[in-house]
Chain A
Amino acid sequence: MTANILTVDDSASIRLTTRVALTNAGYQVTEAVDGVDGLAKLNTGQFDLVITDLNMPNMDGLTMIRELRKLPAHMGVPVIFLTTESDGEIKQQAKAAGATGWLTKPFDPESLVKIAKKVLGK
């Protein structure tokens, strides 16, 4: 069965890039434009992986994961951060909130696919 991936980013061009890479790798991709939209999309189905930006309007990525972990249906979904940030403190917060991976922008779409594969175990 094809894995479902939710990507959350306020940048349309980044969303497009992740979508192209993941779709070509055979994944099903759903997009959200910020944390609020992300939580809403989560509730429309079952996702195997969430890839999210950190800095976004309305709700940032960190807040989104914390909210997500409260939802019984999505408690265990792996989350990868895709962000320009590399600040240690934020990384620690993200790890504490349950992030599984960290990819710094600008990123190589191929690396993103490899990380996704590793996290998804296929």
Chain B
Amino acid sequence: MSFPDPIAVFRTEAAELLEQIEAGLLDLNVNLGDKDQVDAVFRGLHTLKGSGAMFGFEALAAFTHHCETAFDRVRKGEVPATHALVTAVLEAKDHMRALVETPAGDHEAMSEALLANLRRAVDGSGDPAAAPAFAGPSQTLFKLRFSLPQNAMANGTNPLPLLDELRDLGTCRIVADRSSIPALDELVPTDLHIAWDVELLTSEPRSAIDDVFIFVMDDMELSVEEIAVAAQAPVVAAPARPATPAVAVETIASAPVTAAAAPASGDGKSAKANENVRVPAERLDELMDRVGELVIAQSRLSQLAGGSGDLTLRAVSEDVERLSGELRDTMMVLRMVPVTHLFSRFRRLVHDLANETGKRIELVTEGETTEVDKSVIERLADPLVHLVRNSCDHGLETADERLASGKTEAGHIHLSARQQAGEVIITIKDDGRGINKDRVRAKAEASGLIAANASLTDQELYQLIFQPGFSTASEVTNLSGRGVGMDVVKRTIDALRGTINVVSRPGEGSEISLAIPLTLAIIDGLLVRVGNGRYVIPLSAVEECLELSVEEDMRSRGRSFISLRDSLVPFLRLRDLFRTGTKPDQFQKVVVISTGSERVGLVVDQIIGDHQTVIKGMSKLHHDVATFSGATILGDGDVALILDVGHLVAEGQQQEAHLRAAG
């Protein structure tokens, strides 16, 4: 069976009703005492409101409600019918038509204006929707509790209108008792498990409460307790109707969710409080150690499984490998904290530095949410303080100098953090005078760091400022320039397996970038073999691997350069470096590693493959072995040394410089 569209039927009906209302109003305007017309207009408005609400014309229903109330009061003889009222409702009627035709339109302002008009017409300024004012009645506080039978909703009983009716009686506080809601897997969604506790402050008699439940009384449980009579309590208007149903719906809608969480946590509050757990850092470190051991054990398992033909063993081994990888990643995330806290201390520092130096300095920070391993952050603090001090003290000029060179009066320090692959890059940038290369060179020559007239790249020159005992500040200030500091910065960053990159333009400023591995304990490495020994190269530093052809090998003898896509890259023969006595493999490989812009190739005998590596520190005995940054235990129990990329690159570059100098 097909039915017409109810919305279309409603629109037709509304048009008819509006015509009836208009006719009634016009008749009433001729004879203000015509009770039949008052009734007719009231009924028309009443039907329009009811049907409008039924079909989603909420704005129409709400607006019409006020007109209906006004006419209800006329009908009951509370206010007289006047020409002003008729005119106001006639205007309102035209607006109702608009609300029917374009319910989605913006009618709010118009509705407000017309209702204000209506209010004036009814009783000067009173709200027509307001219930007749109570003559200072005493109010009673009722405490009631009610619950409906479990199958109430299946029988068409909806508790929400009942709650609304209670709210209409006075000031209401309604609390849903959700304690008997079963666990989610036992919950029948059509059953009603909620009971309600209500505190109602009303001037209505107790019977009014019973009236609310009059048609559901037979099946339900209701207890009403009269608490106290508050004499001459201020008249509290019933809360605005439109706002309340939403609250009720929310209360009920959220109930099953809370109930589902309840068995686990007791109540909703404690579940929230558990969102963050504070754990002592050393426990995390312990856990990290265990994860490290697990990773080692796992790689042993992988090696065993890989060498056996047992497919089941291999499947298990792959599972363990995946799981321990995930565990490692989770563990790392646990240790990550944003650099916010680290950066925030610089605001104060820069402020103080500005005062001490008499310069105007503005600090801009960026990327505070970048996350870094907690222990890295702790160790980064001092080097950063030093670098920022240095920028403020040596980098930035005084206000007068800046103005003279056409810069803004205030100097700027830009502190930023970002993640890039497995590293976090922290940059300290200033728009000061830049590093004076001549002075650096002069100072380095004077202190014997470099030979006179040595040919150095800019980068090499800048790196000199990190040498112990190096300071170019002509006078030692309170802030920096005491000759300790920059070398400490370098040492700390080295210890973090990080690199420092310096860019400076005279007159424009300097930029110092620190690239630090995100975590200290575990790295992804490339396992290689040189002679009989195995070594790990941090994978984040590896750019590419290629074969060293016999011709290239022959050609490069004594030169130590290979041409890589038209650019010459210096390389180190690790066999020579480690003085391996064995016969080289026939096809040697070159692993190109880089730090920032510098590249160097490492010639190895064999590339074994990826290897997840737990870094173990070198013993005190080997602490000053620069070529290696640590050691790791391989799956078969052997020890592999981890190559210090920064050091090797520097060495390669030096060798290049050396060969160049030698011609």
Q: Which of these binds chain B: A42-50, A67-75, A95-103?
A: A95-103
Q: Confirm or deny: B80 has a beta carbon within 8 angstroms of a beta carbon on chain A.
A: no
CB of B73, distance to nearest CB on chain A (Å): 14
Q: Which of B8-30 contact A (CB under 8 A)?
A: 9-10, 12-13
Task: For A104, give the chain B residue with the smallest CB separation.
Answer: B161
- Tell me if B6 counts as interface (CB < 8 A to partner A): yes
Q: By CB atoms of chain A within 10 A, which of B1, B9, B43, B47 has the most?
A: B47
Q: Assuming the A-B contacts A13-B9, A19-B3, are A111 and B158 also in contact, with contact meaning beta carbons closer than 8 angstroms in the complex?
A: yes
Q: Are A20 and B6 in contact (CB under 8 A)?
A: yes
Instruction: Check if B552 is an interface residue, CB within 8 A of chain A.
Output: no
Within the complex, which residue of B51, B153, B207 is in contact with A13, where a contact is CB–CB below 8 Å?
Answer: B51
Q: B46 contacts A55, CB within 8 Å?
A: yes
Number of A-B pairs whose CB atoms are under 8 Å? 99
Q: Which residues from 91 to 119 on chain A have a C-beta closer than 8 Å to any C-beta of chain B?
A: 91-92, 95, 99-108, 110-118
Hey, which chain A residues are within 8 Å of B661, CB to CB?
none
Contact between A86 and B156 (Cβ–Cβ < 8 Å)? Answer: no
Chain B interface, DSSP helix/strand/loop, else mixed: helix
Complex Cα distance, B157 from A116, in Å, reads 11
Contact sample, A vs B, 22 pairs, CB 8 Å cutoff: A11-B47, A13-B10, A13-B54, A14-B51, A16-B3, A16-B6, A19-B3, A20-B6, A57-B43, A83-B50, A88-B211, A91-B212, A95-B214, A101-B215, A105-B50, A105-B53, A106-B50, A111-B157, A114-B153, A115-B156, A116-B156, A118-B156
Which residues on A sit within 8 Å (CB–CB) of B165? Answer: 86, 104
In the complex where A86-B168, A114-B155 touch, is A92 in contact with B47 (Cβ < 8 A)? Answer: no
Q: Is A63 an interface residue (CB 8 A)?
A: no
A80 to B155, CA, bound (A): 13
Closest to B151 in A: A118
For residue A100, give the distance in angstroms from its CB to the closest CB of chain B.
8
A56: Cβ under 8 A from any B Cβ: yes
A12 within 8 Å of B (CB atoms): yes
Within A1-52, the residues touching B (CB, 8 Å) are 10-14, 16-17, 19-20, 23
| Residues on the A chain within 8 Å of B49, using CB | 84
B40 within 8 A of A: yes
> Range of interface residues on chain B?
35 or more
- Cβ B51 vs Cβ A11 within 8 A: yes
User: How far, in whole Å, are A102 and B157 apart by their CA atoms in the complex?
Assistant: 9
How many chain A residues sit at the interface, stated as a range, is 35 or more
A91 & B214 in contact (Cβ 8 Å cutoff): yes
Chain A minimum-CB-distance residue to B5 = A16
Query: Nearest 7 pairs between A and B by C-beta?
Result: A88-B211, A115-B156, A114-B156, A13-B10, A102-B215, A106-B54, A118-B155
**Nearest Cβ on chain B to A28's Cβ, whole angstroms:** 12
Determine the chain A residues whose CB is within 8 A of the CB of B54 once the complex forms: 13-14, 17, 105-107
Contact B13 A11 (CB under 8 A): yes
Contact of B12 among A12, A55, A111 (CB under 8 A): A12
By CB atoms of chain A within 10 A, which of B40, B156, B165, B204 has the most? B156
B4 at the interface (CB under 8 A from A): yes
Quick check: is B134 within 8 A (CB to CB) of the other chain?
Answer: no
Contact partners of A116 in chain B: CB under 8 A: 156
| Choice from A14, A92, A110, A115 contacting B214 with Cβ under 8 Å | A92
CA distance A10 to B49 in the complex (A): 13
List chain A residues, Cβ under 8 A from B215.
91, 95, 99-102
Q: Is the CB of B214 within 8 A of A106?
A: no
Q: Are B156 and A111 in contact (CB under 8 A)?
A: yes
Docked pose: A20 CA to B54 CA in angstroms? 14
Q: Give B368-425 interface residues, CB cut-off 8 Å to A.
A: none
How far is the CB of B76 from the nearest CB of chain A, in Å? 12
CB closest residue in chain A, given B208: A88
Chain A residue nearest to B2 (CB atoms) is: A20
How many angstroms from the CA of A117 to the CA of B155 in the assembled complex? 7
Distance in angstroms from A22 CB to nearest chain B CB is 11
A15: nearest chain-B partner, CB-CB: B9
Take A86-B161, A105-B53, A105-B54 as given contacts and tell me if A13 and B6 are in contact as well, using a CB distance cutoff of 8 Å.
yes
Q: For the complex, give the distance between the alpha carbons of A64 and B214 in Å.
A: 20
CA distance A103 to B216 in the complex (A): 11
Query: In whole angstroms, what is the CA distance A95 to B386 when docked?
Result: 86
**Bound Cα distance A120, B654 (Å):** 99
Q: A12-B13, A92-B211 are in contact. Are A115 and B155 (CB under 8 A)?
A: yes
Query: Does A88 lie within 8 Å of B156, measured CB to CB?
Result: no
Closest to A83 in B: B50
Closest to A56 in B: B43
Nearest neighbor of B39 in chain A, beta-carbon distance? A57
CA–CA, A117 and B153, complex, Å: 12
Closest A residue by C-beta to B161? A104
